[in-house]
């Protein structure tokens, strides 16, 4: 970690990563808010939408897999810029495939580019966020993820406006793509070139592919990685399921129109954003484990209300509780993975991979199941995974004991 950065450099670095988190959320909500329109334009069913999501998920996992080496070899500046440019191209191609050529294959190609770019950027921006957290000595990863949620709120709001104005998906997507490029270029200019230390140095040092793979995979041999993985898996399912299926669940399951479907995603995203903004101080006061357990209960109760509520107002209350409860699982999992700065890159990468497998591959699985039992009924699976997340939250105890959260007698 660099120690000679001035306060203004740290502020610019932090602001740049805030903006990159926002751009990622903006891109995802843009896609999610237009899923009903894309489904209608292409004339496909939930299984085919699920296949699109699966293609995006596979590409995202590939992006996650190469991100640690890209980060170590090229640095965060070039790595994040390249990833965000791929995201912008992918969003544009999705719009072209939907409205200009009406091609399922072109939309799939766009989602593959979109997924690969977002997957690689996710690892890099979380590693950078963890580095800033260690530099400042404060729990701020939830706030970084709040900016991801700000992006989803903005994206969902723009989606509502686009639907209300009957704006073609290709026009909407192209505008967002230009905005992402502008954010990328302005942001990476303020990311410092950090010294590579610890496991990052080992990954980037000249060595054979076998040794490099051994270094990158080191975190996967630690039991705590898998315990944290359960925490993140349940909450990533909760968040990813909402981003990809909440609007359609409102439209198909509760007979709402497309604008209300997009509005439901906006309510979910606003609730998630609010809790991420205030999450850091809550964690510093009550500890990671207590906060995670309370929010898991909140998410499970909110999702049950969303599924079972007989009226739309109650459905929207359920969406808000669902978003609030799912807000901190992913960022606190990242923060826990980065407790030891000497191994932060490998552990954050592993944690991000587990979360993203659930975040991106979970929703396609839900799509397949929903074709047989219904979309609302399928969401009961997510309730069970949220409960599991709460039960394994003890894995998020700090590696260095604190007065609020001492180490347990035996490690999880």
Read off the pLDDT of residues 41-86 as tens digits, 9 standing for 90 and up.
Answer: 898 887 888 888 888 888 988 888 788 778 777 888 899 999 999 9
| pLDDT cut 70: percent of the chain above it | 87
pLDDT value at residue 199: 46
Which of 209, 248, 181, 272 lies closest to 73, judged by CA? 209
Residue 404: pLDDT band by 50, 70, 90 thresholds? low
- pLDDT band for 203, please (50, 70, 90 cuts): very low
Cα 29 to the center of its chain, rounded Å? 11
Q: What is the pLDDT of residue 216?
A: 55
> Per residue in 86-103, pLDDT tens?
999 999 999 999 999 999
Sign of CA pseudo-dihedral 164, 169, 174, 179: positive
Compare 293 and 340 and report the one with higher pLDDT: 293
Q: How confident is the model at residue 341 (pLDDT cuts 50, 70, 90)?
A: low
Nearest to 48 by CA among 32, 63, 31, 35: 35
Please give the C-alpha separations between residue 124 and each of 53, 78, 391, 399, in angstroms, as whole numbers: 22, 11, 29, 23
State pTM to two decimals. 0.75
Higher pLDDT, 144 or 221: 144
What does pLDDT average to over the chain? 83
Distance, in Å, from the CA atom of 16 to the CA atom of 22, rounded to the nearest integer, reads 10
Query: What would the pLDDT profile of 118-169 be if each residue is shown by its tens digit?
Result: 988 988 898 888 788 878 877 788 899 888 878 988 998 899 899 889 999 9
> Does residue 356 surpass a pLDDT of 80?
no
């Amino acid at each position: 970690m660099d120690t000679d950065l001035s306060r203004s450099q740290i502020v610019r670095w932090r602001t740049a990563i805030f903006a990159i988190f926002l751009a990622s959320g903006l891109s995802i909500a843009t896609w999610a808010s237009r899923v009903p329109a894309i489904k209608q334009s292409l004339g496909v069913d939930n299984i085919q939408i699920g296949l699109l999501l699966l293609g995006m998920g596979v590409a995202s996992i590939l992006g996650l897999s190469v991100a640690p080496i890209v980060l170590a070899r090229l640095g965060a500046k070039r790595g994040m810029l390249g990833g965000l440019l791929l995201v912008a191209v992918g969003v544009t191609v999705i719009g072209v495939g939907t409205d200009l050529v009406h091609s399922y294959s072109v939309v799939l190609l766009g989602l593959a580019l979109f997924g690969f770019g977002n997957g690689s950027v996710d690892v890099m921006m979380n590693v950078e966020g963890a580095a800033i957290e260690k530099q400042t000595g404060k729990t701020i990863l939830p706030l970084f993820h709040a900016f991801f949620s700000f992006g989803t709120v903005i994206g969902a709001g723009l989606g509502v406006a686009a639907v209300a104005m009957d704006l073609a998906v290709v026009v909407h997507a192209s505008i967002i793509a230009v905005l992402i490029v502008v954010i990328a270029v302005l942001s990476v200019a303020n990311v410092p070139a950090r010294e590579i230390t610890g496991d990052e140095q080992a990954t980037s040092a000249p060595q054979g592919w076998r040794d490099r793979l051994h270094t990158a995979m080191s975190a996967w041999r630690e039991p705590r990685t898998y315990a944290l993985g359960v925490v993140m898996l349940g909450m990533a399912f909760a968040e990813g399921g909402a981003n990809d299926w909440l609007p359609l669940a409102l439209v198909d399951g509760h007979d709402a129109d497309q604008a209300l479907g997009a509005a439901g995603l906006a309510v979910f995203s606003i609730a998630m954003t609010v809790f991420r903004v205030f999450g850091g101080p809550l964690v510093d006061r009550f500890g990671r484990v207590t906060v995670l357990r309370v929010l898991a209960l909140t998410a499970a109760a909110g999702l049950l209300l969303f599924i079972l509520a007989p009226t739309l107002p109650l459905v929207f209350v359920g969406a808000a509780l669902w978003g609030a409860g799912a807000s901190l699982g992913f960022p606190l999992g990242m923060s826990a993975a980065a407790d030891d700065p000497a191994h932060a890159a490998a552990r954050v990468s592993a944690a991000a991979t587990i979360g993203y497998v659930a975040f991106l591959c979970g929703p396609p699985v839900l799509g397949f199941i929903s074709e047989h039992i219904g979309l609302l009924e399928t969401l009961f699976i997510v309730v069970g995974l949220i409960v599991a997340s709460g039960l394994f939250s003890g894995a998020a105890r700090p590696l260095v004991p604190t007065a609020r959260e001492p180490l347990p007698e035996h490690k999880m």
